[in-house]
Amino acid sequence: MTEHQSDAVRISGDDAILPFQLDRLNVRGRVARLDATIDTILAQHNYPPAVSALVAEAALLTALIGQTIKLRNRFSIQVRGKGGAVTMLATDYFAPKAEGEPAMMRAYAAYDADKLGDGEGVALLGEGLMGVTIDQGTGQPYQGVTPLTGTSLAECAEVYFAQSEQIATRFALASAQSQEPGQPVNWRAGGVVIQHLPDASPLMDRGPDTSGDGGTDLMTGDDVAALTGEGDDWRTAALKLETVEELELIGPFISPEQLLLRLFHEDAPRVYPAQTVGFGCTCGAEKLEGVLSSYDRAALSDMVEDGKITADCQFCGAQYVFSLEQLTGGDTSPTP
């Protein structure tokens, strides 16, 4: 747990994603800070610290990637593990409905407490796959899959971009429980992503990629940058990012702009308007009622306990209660 000094001056930049460009290196990126957002997400559940850190890492990746998608509606990451303590990670980034509004984020994890040990990162998941979905609200969503590899979800995401999108990508992420003098303990998370991008990202130009074959000859960001003939610029940016410290990433006393100057002051960093984010869930009684009403009466009858059907949202913990008659349109005929 980090503890801030009482004489430090708090700087803005929390719960926001700041896009930037390094003009001298042909590199673009984002800085993300999640303060109340990640604390609210984790407060919905009483996760063990290692699981909380994994959820925070997934949420940071979702924020850093989701903010870039053009004409977007929802960006999601879903990780399925096998053999480890964590069996599922799911995160969503919902784009603002209007300019100037915050984006919404949510995340949750399913885990087996009996299997938790001293492991961390992707070791908690065992074997498995990480999938991404870009849903623009029209047509078939874009989907991509990559095997779990390395020691972190960030490494998995880097492999995904190298393999599926041919984009050199590097992440630096951190999360921790933080306490300011006189304030309660809360979770904070921060991260930076840099990418050596072509003029147009292929993310929105490719068809669904659902191979996830787990091949052993996986390309890295360095491999992709070398193919463009600009490997030196990419290595310069990546080496500078490696010098970042955990407290610089997490904040809140170093602003995202100050962080960029510390890391890349020689490379002409240029920033763009930041996107604010906050916790938000799209669940609702009407939506859930529509889903449950699609089940036949026999299946719904099996769900009845104490004369009612209850459903919990895994993201926000909201509980919804329905009667069998409500879901069957008042049909009171006997169950076949």
The pLDDT of residue 204:
34
pTM: 0.81
What is the mean pLDDT of the segment spanning 60-84? Answer: 87
pLDDT over 90 at 223, yes or no: no
CATH fold match for the domains 2-279 and 285-327: no
pLDDT over 70 at 29, yes or no: yes
Within the chain, residue ranges assigned H as helices are: 36-43, 49-66, 153-160, 221-227, 231-241, 246-250, 256-264, 285-292, 297-303, 324-327
The full set of domain ranges for the chain reads 2-279, 285-327
Q: Report DSSP letters for 144-179, one per residue.
A: EEEE--SSSHHHHHHHHIIIII--EEEEEEEEEEEE
Which one has a higher pLDDT value, 156 or 298?
A: 156
The pLDDT of residue 156:
94
DSSP 115: G
Cα 90 to the center of its chain, rounded Å:
8
- SS3 for 327? helix
Q: How far apart are CA 250 and CA 153, in angstroms?
A: 18
Torsion angle of the four alpha carbons 148, 50, 171, 95, in this order, in degrees rounded to the nearest 10 = 90
Stretch among 34-43, 145-154, 249-258, 290-299 having the lowest mean pLDDT: 290-299
The pLDDT of residue 172:
98
The pLDDT of residue 56:
96
Percent of the chain exceeding pLDDT 70 equals 83
Q: Which CATH architecture has domain 2-279?
A: 3-Layer(bab) Sandwich (3.55)
Half-sphere exposure of 257 (CA within 13 A, CB side): 8
What is the mean pLDDT of the segment spanning 254-277? Answer: 94
Q: How far apart are CA 17 and CA 256, in angstroms?
A: 9
Stretch among 80-84, 144-148, 289-293 having the lowest mean pLDDT: 289-293
Which fold, 285-327?
CBS domain Like (3.90.1280)
- Band of residue 201 on the pLDDT scale cut at 50, 70, 90: very low
pLDDT over 50 at 235, yes or no: yes
Which one has a higher pLDDT value, 117 or 335?
A: 117
pLDDT over 60 at 208, yes or no: no
What is the mean pLDDT of the segment spanning 9-25? Answer: 82
Which one has a higher pLDDT value, 228 or 10?
A: 228
Q: How far apart are CA 139 and CA 61, in angstroms?
A: 25
What is the mean pLDDT of the segment spanning 109-114? Answer: 92
The pLDDT of residue 100:
84
- Band of residue 301 on the pLDDT scale cut at 50, 70, 90: confident
pLDDT over 60 at 42, yes or no: yes
pLDDT over 80 at 81, yes or no: yes
Q: Report DSSP letters for 214-271, one per residue.
A: --S----HHHHHHHTT-HHHHHHHHHHHTT--HHHHH-SSS-HHHHHHHHHGGG-EEE
Token pair, residue 75, equals 């960006």
